[in-house]
Structure 1
Amino acid sequence: MDTTGTLDEALQRLHASGPERLGRLTNHAPMAVEALAANGRPEAVHRWLDGYASRLEEFPSAVEPVTDADWRSALGDPRRAADWIVYFGRALAERPWREVLALWWPRLLPGMYGGSTHPVIRVGHAVRTLLAGESTGPRLDELAHGLGYWAARHRSVTGLAPVAGADSAGAALDAVRPIAERKGGFPDRLGNVTSEPVWAASVTDPDEAHRRLTELVRAATHRYATHGHGDETMLVHAATAPNAVLRTLPALPRDLWVPSLRAAWTASAAVTAMYAPDAPVAPVPPGQVTPDEVFERAMAHGDEHVIKLTDTALDVGDGQALAAALRAIGLIEPMR
């Protein structure tokens, strides 16, 4: 993790900006700069951020304060993003961050599907930073921004019919039924997801939940190497959303691990159903390339989704995961 202060400087720059742009697109900069810093590239942080700066919008206007008494009425209201961020900033100034996270994680977890799963991904990056180093002001503020964005974009998925699954995460993802109507963006498609393969429902042990979540991240990352062409950008989230949950588990009470697995599985399965291609392609072996070289290529490419998937691929750490990162580099347009 960056110990030079560069990440804190970048986060301070970014906290003058809102969590979205153009009314619906996510501000990916906090997640990307955290990934650069976490992978030992603090020297690239401000250079990358300078290239992304034109995509940033001003911090949104407040509507009315969120309070402990009325927070439920503000949940899932994107107009209240600023109100929520201020609320969490105040909470994190008054209480330890793990305590705030443990209180709000089960409240927010059922709604991790709003904002194309970006809010929970942003929280996962923020938590990784806090677990790895000091709880500095900018890093606590980043957690407040992530939690606030999640609360504002809170959207649940209910009523999914259980269908036949499989014993492994990879086979369960293969069993996902693609949605019939594939028009529109993420919110429209999410409403067309009606079923989910049985895979995580029977888990009750926290350690088994951790093991399965690790397996899911690996399987979804591997799958990108063969299925990423279904939608080169959106299918990244089938891996990065559950990995955000996995990164957060060490900061959570163990009794929250099982519901975390179930929510992460629903996210990965739903993204798979929404964007799966008609047929896979054969994976291209990564050759003799090292993880460090793959991350260098991702940095040179510059796209935020490439950087984040490569960051997850390095967590997985095997050849098929590196092949997935290289596949993303080949499929996604470089940042200009």
Structure 2
Amino acid sequence: MTATGYLDEAYDRLHRTGPEFGGDRDGNNGLANHGPMAAEVLVRRGHGAQLEPWLDRYLTRLIELPDAREEITRRNLPRAIGGGRGRLGDWTAYFGRQIAERPWAEVLREWWPTLLPGITAGATHGAIRVGHAVRALGEDSSAIAQQELAHGLAFWAARANPIPAATGPRGTLDPAEALAGIPHLADQSGLIAQRLGRLATLHGWPEAQAALRPAADPDDVPRLLDDLVHAATVRYLRRAHGSPILLVHTATAPNAVKNTLPALPRELWAPSLTAVWSAVAAVVAGYEPADPAPRAELPEPPRADDPVADLIDRAVDNGDEHVIKFTDTAVDVYERTGDPDALAAALRARELIRPEV
């Protein structure tokens, strides 16, 4: 089977399931459906043959896609944004129609600026799923691949969640320096929405976000995003113990945004950087431990002749969806920078995150 065949078959199975599962009736403390994102990585990294058995196991954890209850129209659209689990079916039907009737890139360009303020939707999984879908559409423009974008946009719209006191970059620091200056919440307990709610009163929160240097021009945005992904990936190595799963998204969210840029008009690039930077900073503030783990106690990069292939194989053997996605991002960083700590960070994720049985 071709790569696109593997992926289209996976999308066909996954689109019968909802974008989240678990938690209470309202979806609080639930989990995001990572199936489409992990499937895109497995196929792109040459492991399409492993996708079907991986999905056989993963699908047992998911729930059916909720039914649409109320059609989204121009009149009720504003109150439907951020409406939660009860609007997932409505938004999926809405974006399914939009993408069936218009070019997918046109729908994406129209909705991207509306959704950006709520980028922490589903702990940033709305934006991440969209990023994986856009990357897949570069190779596969089938109708079902386009519908995967509809599912990602629907999840983002239903779970849109603004970041309190979000502030754009206007300082002089590069991403690594700016990340080091993010203050941590004294009370890192509760759900992500509860932690985000505490940011408005966190001392130094607006100033820490503003300390990042802004992009000099649109061409500078991909460079800054690359640097942010790099900094977050290697930072994970020593701080992942604070929250191994949530802190994965400090790297995968900006990587997903960077992968979406080619499909967006250049005037949206700088706002995209601003939004995802605040999202990364929010996760760092809410989940990162104040004290890093000693480097001597952490994994060393793989010493195989082909460390990238070795690392991808290890992630596939592990099977956890977060490990697969984070390894994909870490490999991107290593191939771009040559920094071996990026590979070590992926091993740290594999060490800390065990797959669900």
Short-chain TM bin: over 0.9
Which of residues 296, 301, 313 is equivalent to 1:296?
313
Aligned to 2:188, the other structure's residue is in SS state coil
Supply the distance in 1 between the matched residues of 2:300 and 2:311 (Cα, whole angstroms): 13
- Aligned counterpart, 1:306: 323
Question: Which digits, 9 at most, give the CA deviation of each residue in 1:17-43, with x for residues without a partner?
Answer: 111112232111111111111111100
Supply the distance in 1 between the matched residues of 2:69 and 2:162 (Cα, whole angstroms): 23
- Aligned counterpart, 1:212: 224
- Aligned counterpart, 1:19: 19
Supply the distance in 2 between the matched residues of 1:164 and 1:74 (Cα, whole angstroms): 33
Please show how residues 33-72 of structure 1 align to structure 2 within 5 Å.
Answer: 33-72=39-78
- Aligned counterpart, 1:91: 98
C-alpha contact 1:113 1:157 (8 A) present in aligned 2:
yes
Question: Which digits, 9 at most, give the CA deviation of each residue in 1:178-226, with x for residues without a partner?
Answer: 0111110211111112314224463351111221111101110111111
Aligned to 1:64, the other structure's residue is in SS state coil
Supply the distance in 2 between the matched residues of 1:244 and 1:65 (Cα, whole angstroms): 29
Supply the distance in 1 between the matched residues of 2:247 and 2:135 (Cα, whole angstroms): 22
Are residues 200 and 207 of structure 1, via their aligned partners in 2, closer, same or farther at CA, if it must alter by over 3 Å?
A: farther
Supply the distance in 2 between the matched residues of 1:275 and 1:128 (Cα, whole angstroms): 28
Paired residue type of 2:312: F
Aligned to 1:143, the other structure's residue is in SS state helix
- Aligned counterpart, 2:128: 121
- Aligned counterpart, 1:326: 347
Q: Is it true that 1:9 corresponds to 2:26 in the alignment? A: no
Paired residue type of 1:33: A
Are residues 166 and 324 of structure 1, via their aligned partners in 2, closer, same or farther at CA, if it must alter by over 3 Å?
A: farther
Aligned to 2:165, the other structure's residue is in SS state coil
Aligned to 2:43, the other structure's residue is in SS state helix
Are residues 4 and 250 of structure 1, via their aligned partners in 2, closer, same or farther at CA, if it must alter by over 3 Å?
A: closer
User: C-alpha displacement at 1:152, in angstroms?
Assistant: 0.2
Paired residue type of 1:154: A
User: C-alpha displacement at 1:59, in angstroms?
Assistant: 1.0
- Aligned counterpart, 2:198: 192
Paired residue type of 1:14: L
Supply the distance in 1 between the matched residues of 2:75 and 2:333 (Cα, whole angstroms): 42
Supply the distance in 1 between the matched residues of 2:167 and 2:261 (Cα, whole angstroms): 27
User: C-alpha displacement at 1:68, in angstroms?
Assistant: 3.4
Question: Which digits, 9 at most, give the CA deviation of each residue in 1:71-121, with x for residues without a partner?
Answer: 112100011111111111111111111111000000001101121111111
Which of residues 88, 100, 106 is equivalent to 2:113?
106
Supply the distance in 2 between the matched residues of 1:310 and 1:182 (Cα, whole angstroms): 26
Unaligned runs of 5+ in 1: none
Which of residues 300, 318, 326 is equivalent to 1:285?
300
Question: Which digits, 9 at most, give the CA deviation of each residue in 1:255-282, with x for residues without a partner?
Answer: 0000000011111111111111131121
Which of residues 76, 89, 95 is equivalent to 1:82?
89
Are residues 291 and 199 of structure 1, via their aligned partners in 2, closer, same or farther at CA, if it must alter by over 3 Å?
A: farther
Aligned to 2:157, the other structure's residue is in SS state helix
Are residues 93 and 164 of structure 1, via their aligned partners in 2, closer, same or farther at CA, if it must alter by over 3 Å?
A: closer
TM-score, length-normalised on structure 2? 0.90
Question: Which digits, 9 at most, give the CA deviation of each residue in 1:141-179, with x for residues without a partner?
Answer: 100000001000011113247899762211111111001
Number of aligned pairs?
335
Aligned to 1:114, the other structure's residue is in SS state coil
- Aligned counterpart, 2:140: 134
Aligned to 2:256, the other structure's residue is in SS state helix
Paired residue type of 1:47: P
TM-score, length-normalised on structure 1? 0.95
Paired residue type of 2:78: R
Q: Is it true that 1:159 corresponds to 2:159 in the alignment? A: no
- Aligned counterpart, 2:282: 270
C-alpha contact 1:4 1:42 (8 A) present in aligned 2:
no
Which of residues 134, 137, 149 is equivalent to 1:143?
149
C-alpha contact 2:188 2:286 (8 A) present in aligned 1:
yes
Root-mean-square deviation (CA), in Å? 1.9
C-alpha contact 2:330 2:345 (8 A) present in aligned 1:
yes
Aligned to 1:46, the other structure's residue is in SS state helix
Supply the distance in 2 between the matched residues of 1:70 and 1:164 (Cα, whole angstroms): 36
Supply the distance in 2 between the matched residues of 1:162 and 1:255 (Cα, whole angstroms): 15
Paired residue type of 2:238: T
